[in-house]
A and B are shown apart, each in its own frame.
Chain A
Amino acid sequence: MAIIEHMGVFAMTPGMGVMWLISLTLMYLAIHKKYEPLLLLPIGFGILIANLPLTNLMEPGEGLIWRFYHYGIEWEVIPPVIFLGLGALTDFGPLLSQPRLIFLGAAAQAGVYITFFIATSVGFTLEEAAAIGIIGGADGPTTIFLAAKLAPQLLGACAVAAYSYMALVPIIQPPIMRLLTTENERKIKMIKGRKIGAREKLVFPVVASVLIILLVPASAPLIAMFMLGNLFRESKVVERLTDTAQSSLMNIVTIFLGVSIGATMNAENFLRQEVIFIFFLGLVAFMIGTATGVILAKIMNLFTSNKINPLVGGAGVSAVPMAARVVQKMGMEADKKNHLLMFAMGPNIAGVIGTVIAAGIFLTLLG
């Protein structure tokens, strides 16, 4: 009977079964463990439906999810729109009150480039290595933006690695930060920065956009939208736009982003030895980024009397605000009165900018 011949059940492959298990694991982690549920849940479901046979959901030019993927991600729409929302949620105050902390966000990008170098030496192409290295920036939209342009075949693996490790920041970072700091260093109380006026906050996104885009034009889609979102917020005259950017709009595109990313992970693409390397190298990038931030903070302390608690350097990997919360928790473990959250938000936000610049440089040199 023709209807039986067209049933998907007879076209199942063992690889699809394995992908179902991966999908169910991600959905379990999202629902029960609350690991980045906003992304891992749609990604998990996207994997499931992409690994159901004969659906054509990802058929180029035809499939529903392919359209989300093509117009949303390949056309570079969704990651910049998410950045618009992130900008609307960001307060640059902590960074503006202590500008020197921006260098901690730069130091954490060493993880990106060192991992890029390692990835090329184990056989990945330069483009693939860039997509893997950027996982260390701990910034999902930037990882997706770069991987979609340079190594679309690795997009799913890189995105899942980035979001998984972002969820695991409270587990990955503390041992590294403990290893690189002494008890006394963790007890360092930082001096509060100056008060930041509304005018400074208003001017910064405009100035930062111009400067960054002049230096690294390829970073324009992400930086421009990030700073526009922030300008909405700081202008205080477009509250409806600010609210939309930071909530409804971001939620809508997150749905399309998650499902599309998940749907790129079919068994053929994903069940390869390289994917294990990608996850391993992504972890390495994360760990190096954490370490280099802490180490730079210690180096900066050699030249200043106004000491930086080196834990704050660990927040240089973006993962906003999770990494900053880890710093706060570790600071309070060393001294219950040591509140580091607001100090850590500076390098945390700087890490976002640093990762976008790093991605822009990759695109400039490899795109």
Chain B
Amino acid sequence: MSTLTKFSAIPYTGPAPTNRDPYVPANATQADARGEEIAAKINNPAMQQERGQDLPTFVVDKNAITDVLTALKNDTFVLPLDLFGADYPRREGGRFDVIYQLYSVQNNERVRLKVRVGEDEAIPTSTKIFKANDWFEREVFDMFGVKFDGHPNLRRILTHEMFQGHPLRKDYDPAQRWLLTEQGVAKLTPKIDPRFEDVDTDFERVTLNLGPSHPATHGTLRIVVTLDGETIIGADTEIGYLHRCFEKMSETHTYQQVIPFTDRLNYCSAIINNVGYCMTIEKMLGIEAPARAQHIRLMLSEFMRLSDHIICIGTNLVDMGALTNFWYLFQPREEILGLVESCCGARLLPTYTRVGGMAVDAPSDFLANSQRLVNMLPKFIDDVEKLIMKNRIFLDRVQGVCAISQEDALSFGFTGPCLRATGVPFDIRKASPYLGYDTYDWDVPIAEGGDTYARFLVRLEEMRQSLRILQQAIDRGLPAGPVIVDNPYVALPPKSKVYNEMESLIYHFKLIMHGIQPPVGEAYFPVEGGNGEVGFYVVSDGTKNPYRVRIRPPCFPIFEAYAQMITGQTIPDAIAGLGSLNIIAGELDH
């Protein structure tokens, strides 16, 4: 054996990534071709196609954005997925990118629009076209200071009223602290719904605060309602109490260090966030996790989805006084968290995935324990179904309560179980399969009505479908092989080599000190979270820190619709409706 083979133990033979390589998405040609078709159909001279992106991308003149959005909506792009900003301070022709992402349910495709604006310029508002854009535009204003002409209520949303500056601007110093005193707290006066304006009643109108720390709100949310007797005639919501600057913190940490932060977005199904973030970076790097890692990711994602739905159903029933279901459901949830703990050493905040695979292999009894869980879960789901689904008190409290029409749900940017409860079969695991979801036999459950009851039905059925996927995954068994890619520029070398070989030790030091350096460019990757589409939009400038990380939080647009959903309902119904939306404050406030 020559000394060379003895010491170069790492078989990676590919080139070392050179800094500032441009990122070329694998599907760039298809996206460009599709973009040309869309441009021909919309036929607006203000749309300039930007080529070489992972989605059909257009740079739109800011004055034409409402026309383009209307035309796209009238085409098939009815679901506004996201609206966010990005800051390029040294760029000529407007430092901010305001990025719109739309989805066409009919054709299963996405489109991305970019509007370039300077510091003092304003964009016409699109709140009249998509209802979701009300809060999204407020967020862009809050984070970047981009103004929207004609916005009905353009004020801060995630930071507080006494906050100075716009935190996601590149020239904002993240070490600053801003104090909120009592004088700065916003006085919310809900606008009374026109339906109830002229109603003559015997009651005095009362304005009531629910939250921000109220046991029924399941998180730090503030809901202000105006009551006429027991009927809510006007509602307003305020969020941002759990804002932890996920996006700004990502910019000051390395790609690997962001993974623990993603745990804290939707802490009820943290592994799904881990998977989504890591797969975005893997997409930029052009690598794929080994089959074994993908299998573990899929199984744990499904277990996490089960746990997420268990929390939603369990706590929602507690809000309605059905405590028994909560106890029955939380036993399997504890077992699921125990399984996660046996894999990675933490129950709620696992940080299990790494870019390129998993931190460690699953334990040898992983499949046996999974099988035990899959065997025991149906009994608990059946028990809960038998307890509530024929119970007239329960049915009277959920049927027709907090309903949202399909049109409104789409306009508000709903995804996940809440959208499927209105009858739209949109599930990313089917629409754009990842981790091999298309090789499993399972169905997307939908329901009609969009009320609390429909969301219950969809979640219960989704738990059964997750169990179907899991049973098939267990039957297939874990593929043999490593759980992380064999690429020293992405994954840490095995410790036995680090201790004994100079080359591995150098790779180890390089990776910790200089981090992963994806090629320059931007990528978006969505996964189906417990509440809907969890998407990560990452911009890389070739350095070890992400230039911009955007999380597409599914709760955000869902909670935006809440004020409209509860108007005309009573307070107990509003609480039941809030529970069925499964608002996770960590994700809502990112």
* A, B from the same assembly: no
